[in-house]
Amino acid sequence: MKKSLKLFLVISLSLSVLTACNKNSNEDPQTVINNAWEKLADKQAAYEIGKINFDGRADLDYDGSKANLKGNGELQFDSSDKENPVSALKLDLDGKGSFEGSEGSVELTGEIRTIKNTLYLMLESLNIDTGDAQTNLMANLVGNLYKGQWISIPNPTEEAKKAFDAENFKGKAVAEVARKNNFFELKKDLGNRKYELQINAEKLKTYLREVSKVNGQELSAEDLMAVDEVLKTLVYSFQVGIGNDYELTWLKGDFTVNNPETDLSQTGEIQTMNLSFEVDLKDSTSQGTITLNIGGDTPGSFSTTFSATHEKGGVSIEIPADAQNFDPEALLGGGMPGLMPSTEGMPGMEGVPNMKGMPNIEEMMENMPQE
């Protein structure tokens, strides 16, 4: 993916962290915008302990493939201890789709925890139907093998730990760069503390230059020229509303880039990309929609709707007492034969002999009915 598309995504994602709405004010609009930007950056840097509950769905339609996914879950996080940030993510997913003429579905519930540089995984349930009996066998075998069992995957190297810690630091540093480099300016005062904004190209380049330094990189003159080129072809509108406390509580945007410089655009498959979104924030809740449309020889679309509640504190994340080290050999029938599951009742396993205790998957595969 070339530089212009990357920049388009950077701008779009930067915009999509803003939100707003409230009462009239006699304050200078640009001052209101600057104060809201700084407050957002401060909140990002200080939000160390919290919980987010979310619910949403996503739909994809591209190049003959279609899919829809519904899900809900809970994310807890605590990064107050810089030496040991922890998190826990509970997920409940249900998806269906068609790919290359095959229908498929997946149902999954489980939890992921990160504690002391170790990843813990637990599948509560997994049911996969790919339309292919052998793939179903392997996927559902793994699901049954580890169902209800916590699995631990330690960080393999000290280098990986250092990289994790470095990324943690970068998040704080990027928030500070953002605080000092607001590249949004007032385009039009819409009244009632709602504003239409525009991008200041020079300030955007300063922001990107400083973020690159945080990441140990240096933007070249060519990179900075690409910023101007993208802004010339970017057609957009972006509106926000800002409360009296400078909290951002609403945003609405529409961004289109023509002939994005990607490998696919060279063949005509992608000629335009359009991103639109609208998000409402009120107190500790948020809800919104995001849509991405692609135009060209292979048109497509992606859309998602979501809602979430946010709260500070109230986090409890512990190391699972019965966690077992992940053993890849078990998946090949060699490391944990005692944990090989019974195949009775497994989807797609009708007619296959019961596999409990069998040491080798290849032997099982030979007995599987052929389509």
Residue 70 pLDDT: 95
Helix axes 158-180, 29-46, angle to 10 degrees: 160
* Model confidence, pTM: 0.67
Residue 59 region by backbone torsions, left for phi larger than 0, else alpha for psi between -120 and 50, else beta: beta
Residue 266 pLDDT: 54
Residue 338 pLDDT: 40
- d(CA 87, CA 80) in angstroms, rounded, equals 11
Buried (b) or exposed (e) across 65-92, using 16+ Cβ within 10 A? eebebebbbebbbbbeeeeebbebebbb
Residue 112 pLDDT: 93
Average confidence (pLDDT) per 10 residues, the chain, 371 residues: 52 47 62 88 71 93 88 89 82 88 87 88 88 81 82 69 54 78 92 92 90 84 85 90 86 85 58 89 87 85 92 84 76 44 46 44 50 46
DSSP 3-state percent helix, strand, coil across the chain (nearest 5): 30, 40, 30
| CA distances, 167 to each of 76, 82, 115, 173, 184 (Å) | 19, 11, 16, 10, 26
Using DSSP's 3-state secondary structure scheme, residue 127 falls into: strand
Report pLDDT digits (tens) over 151-162.
998 865 555 555
Residue 272 pLDDT: 84
Cβ atoms 78, 49 nearer than 8 A: yes
Residue 171 pLDDT: 65
CA–centroid distance for 1 within its chain? 19
